[in-house]
Amino acid sequence: MPKTIQLKEATYEQLQGYKVGGLTFDDIIRRLMERLDAGEFQREYREWQKRVVANMRRSGDFREL
């Protein structure tokens, strides 16, 4: 059953750039997801979060809750 997802206008426009031939948005998203599995994506995201917090601490903009 098809699902509706929310995209920002800029994201939608960027996604349209991948649309070639008879590819559907589902085809495009699946191909992109095949390049990075969910576990690897989550690990990369956690590492990015750690870098953001470290940068905030160095800049003095970080306060513990």
pTM: 0.66
Q: Domain tally for the chain?
A: 1
Give the residue numbers spanning the domain of 40. Answer: 9-59
- What is the model's pLDDT at position 56? 85
The pLDDT tens digits for 21-58 are: 999 999 999 999 999 999 999 999 999 999 988 888 88
DSSP one-letter code for 51: H
3-state secondary structure the chain: CCCCCCCCHHHHHHHHCCCCCCCCHHHHHHHHHHCCCHHHHHHHHHHHHHHHHHHHHHHCCCCCC
Alpha carbons 7 and 24: distance in angstroms, whole number: 16
* Within-domain flag for 55: yes
* Within-domain flag for 2: no
